[in-house]
Every structure is written in structure tokens, then in C-alpha cells.
């Protein structure tokens, strides 16, 4: 594949040109296996490891490669092996807080042009979850497209589509049935050569079936959802960049039981722009739209202009973001204290060594 077919842009070429080493070649990360990666090169593919300097200098997960990244690699003497020396600037980045109580970032995909936010029109249908996915997508820098799968299983298709339109203003929405191969033609407009599309969604929404239909082959294993709660098991176990027959590139991601925000201030503003538009008329500029008097947002809820459930979703995500930011700040302060103590110890050792000399 040519670099252009892999999604290479003039901006990537300019960034790569600023690297001084002449023995580096561009590559795109296709799969991550812990500290080892499979990357696409212009003349094929190879396994690549992170250089020692990159591992040493990394301050967090963002400083390490992710699926979709453009990287500069150096070939090694070992056949089918290379070393990743640098990550080129990212045009977009999907991340979330890792599941559970740990305060850490998990990178899902990089350099995505369009994100298919897949949800099922079965008993697991939930517009509040769609809002959460929209917030993450808008924060990433990619364009969201909502894909309502399993349209053949619902007797309330029009009503459910209207629910999504009400919370996803100006976002394209497509109702499809991947299993019945209905409606998927509408997705072709986003799958242009060199464009990268990521599929995001909970377990059991049918992402693997959609990918198989787009690939034209049963490459991804699929499982039936549980009849009791319409939830599925993970059928995709790792992220992978897959070339499609038409020239686009697809990143599949494992289904997520939960999607917690990591950094989504701009995403929340974009997702809840109807709430944000009303908020500018609140009497208090720092109004949190809870119990403050003369709140324009609460007035809009009372008038029926904004549904109460949508406001509560907005407030919930804001609280989650503030709590996460507080934990991030605390961790950053702890890291600074550790660095200061390490620096003080190193200085003390130098003074002692100099005194012995």
C-alpha cells in the first residue's frame, strides 16, 4: 500500500520532514501488542518495538504509540523488525479513563477522521449513552456519525430515531440492520480512500457484524447477545487498523461496558450546545444550573424547551469531569513532589561526593 492509501497527508509529510535522522521511514500503527506493535510500511508490514529513549522519556500513555498513529521507525538488522523512534503529531485522539477506580488514561485510537458511534435498537437502547459517546468524539477531534443498528428488531424505529435526533443536533444518523444487510450503503459516503473510520460502541451492539459486511467477509467473530438483558460478550479483543476493499481504513475497538470521560470539556459543550446556549443568560456567570436563582437553563426546562433528563445527563457528566480533574490534579502534585524529592536527594549526593573529593 502507498502511504497515501494508508491515510498519509501533507501535514504528516511536513512533520516527518522535520525529523533530522535520514535512516527513519514513516509507518502507521496497525495493532498494539503491549510494548510491541505491528506497523504498516509503504513496502509491507513489520513488527516494531519502542526505542529505549521513547520509553524513558514517556510521561504518560499519550507519549506512547497507539493504533492509528503515524510513527517514524528505524529498521533493524533483524528481519521483520523495526524500532519506533518518534510519534508524529496527531490530528485526533480518542481516550477515556480506564475502567474501575484507577485514575489513568486509556488511548483507544489516533488519527481518526470519522467515528461510527454504534448503538443497538434493542432492549439496550440508551440515548444517555449516546450523549456520552458524542462528548468523547467531539473532544477527540473526529467527526461523529451515529449508527443505529438492529433496525429490524424494533417496532419503534421512528420514535427511537427522533429521540437520538433530539440529543444529536446536526449529527448524521443512520438506521441499519447489519445482520439483514440493510441500510449499510448509507455508510459508504464516509469510507473514502485514505479516510480512517473508528467503530465505537458497547458490547453486543453489532460492531463486528458491521465490519464483516463492510469487509465482504467474516473476518471478525460474532456472538449472540444474551436474551435476558440484550448485552453481549466482547468479540473484538484488541484494536486493529484494517484496510477496507474500497480504500478506507477501519479501526475496530473492543466493546466497552463503561465509557468514562478523561478530558471532555469541549466535547460536553458541543454535545450539549442547547444547554450551553441557554446558560449564557443565567444571572450568575458560574451558575451550575442546580439550585441557583434566575437560572436560564432551569427556566428552559420548566418551559419544556430542554428535557429534564437531558439536563440531568449534562450535570452528571460535568460532575464526573470535575471529579476526574480533581484526581488528575492530585496525582500531578504527587508526581511533582516525588520529582522534587528525587532532585533533592541527587543534589545532596553530589554535595557529599564533592566533599569526599
Transcribe 200-211 into DSSP letters.
Answer: EE-TTSSHHHHH
More confident residue, 103 or 41: 41
What is the pLDDT averaged over residues 11-34?
91
Please identify, in words, the CATH class of the domain defined by 272-357. Answer: mainly alpha
Instruction: Evaluate if residue 332 carries a pLDDT over 60.
Output: no
Alpha-carbon distance of 304 to 157, in angstroms, equals 24
The SS3 call for residue 284 is coil
Give the model confidence (pLDDT) of 64-112 as tens digits. 999 999 999 998 887 789 999 999 999 999 887 766 666 667 888 999 9
What's the rounded mean pLDDT across residues 106-132? 91
- In this prediction the pTM is 0.81
Q: 165 phi and psi, to 5 degrees? A: -60, -35
Can 10-87 and 93-252 be said to share one CATH topology? no
* 17, burial (CB in 10 Å: exposed 0-12, middle 13-18, buried 19+): exposed
- Using an 8 Å Cβ cutoff, are 239 and 67 in contact? yes
For residue 230, is pLDDT > 50?
no
Radius of gyration of the chain (CA): 23
pLDDT exceeds cutoff 70 at 229: no
For residue range 141-155, list pLDDT tens digits in order. Answer: 999 999 999 999 999
Q: Which CATH class is domain 10-87?
A: mainly beta
What are the residue ranges spanned by the domains of the chain?
A: 10-87, 93-252, 272-357
Q: What is the pLDDT of residues 254-287, one digit of tens each?
A: 755 556 666 667 788 889 999 999 999 999 998 9
What's the CA gap between 130 and 136, in Å, rounded? 10
CATH of domain 93-252: 3.40.50.300
Q: How distant, in Å, are the alpha carbons of 65, 89, 256, 356 from that of 48?
A: 11, 19, 27, 46
Amino acid at each position: 500500500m502507498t502511504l497515501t492509501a494508508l491515510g498519509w497527508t501533507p501535514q504528516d509529510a511536513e512533520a516527518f520532514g522535520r525529523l533530522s535522522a535520514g535512516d527513519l521511514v514513516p509507518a502507521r500503527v496497525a495493532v498494539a501488542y503491549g510494548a510491541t506493535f505491528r506497523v504498516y510500511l509503504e513496502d509491507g508490514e513489520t513488527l516494531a518495538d519502542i526505542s529505549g529513549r521513547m520509553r524513558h522519556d514517556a510521561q504518560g500513555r499519550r507519549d506512547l504509540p497507539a493504533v492509528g498513529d503515524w510513527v517514524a521507525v528505524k529498521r533493524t538488522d533483524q528481519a521483520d523488525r523495526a524500532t519506533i523512534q518518534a510519534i508524529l503529531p496527531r490530528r485526533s485522539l480518542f481516550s477515556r479513563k480506564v475502567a474501575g477506580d484507577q485514575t489513568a488514561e486509556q488511548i483507544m485510537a489516533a488519527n481518526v477522521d470519522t467515528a461510527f458511534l454504534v448503538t443497538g435498537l434493542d432492549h439496550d437502547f440508551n440515548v444517555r449513552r449516546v450523549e456520552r459517546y458524542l462528548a468523547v468524539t467531539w473532544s477527540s477531534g473526529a467527526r461523529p456519525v451515529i449508527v443505529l443498528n438492529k433496525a429490524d428488531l424494533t417496532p419503534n424505529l421512528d420514535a427511537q430515531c427522533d429521540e437520538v435526533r433530539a440529543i444529536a443536533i446536526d449529527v448524521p444518523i443512520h438506521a441499519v440492520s447489519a445482520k439483514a444487510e440493510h441500510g449499510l450503503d448509507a455508510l459508504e459516503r464516509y469510507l473514502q480512500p485514505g479516510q480512517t473510520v473508528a467503530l465505537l460502541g458497547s458490547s453486543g451492539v453489532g460492531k463486528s457484524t458491521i465490519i464483516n459486511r463492510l469487509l465482504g467477509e467474516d473476518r471478525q467473530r460474532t456472538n449472540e447477545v444474551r436474551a435476558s438483558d440484550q448485552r453481549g460478550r466482547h468479540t473484538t479483543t484488541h484494536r486493529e487498523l484494517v484496510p477496507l476493499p474500497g480504500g478506507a481504513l477501519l479501526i475496530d475497538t473492543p466493546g466497552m461496558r463503561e465509557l468514562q470521560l478523561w478530558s471532555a470539556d469541549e466535547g460536553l459543550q458541543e454535545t450539549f450546545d442547547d444547554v450551553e446556549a441557554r446558560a449564557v443568560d443565567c444571572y450568575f456567570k458560574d451558575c451550575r444550573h442546580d439550585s441557583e436563582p434566575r437560572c436560564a437553563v432551569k427556566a428552559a426546562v420548566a418551559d419544556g424547551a430542554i428535557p429534564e433528563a437531558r439536563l440531568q445527563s449534562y450535570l452528571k457528566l460535568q460532575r464526573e469531569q470535575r471529579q476526574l480533574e480533581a484526581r488528575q490534579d492530585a496525582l500531578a502534585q504527587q508526581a511533582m513532589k516525588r520529582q522534587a524529592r528525587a532532585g533533592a536527594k541527587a543534589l545532596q549526593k553530589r554535595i557529599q561526593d564533592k566533599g569526599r573529593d
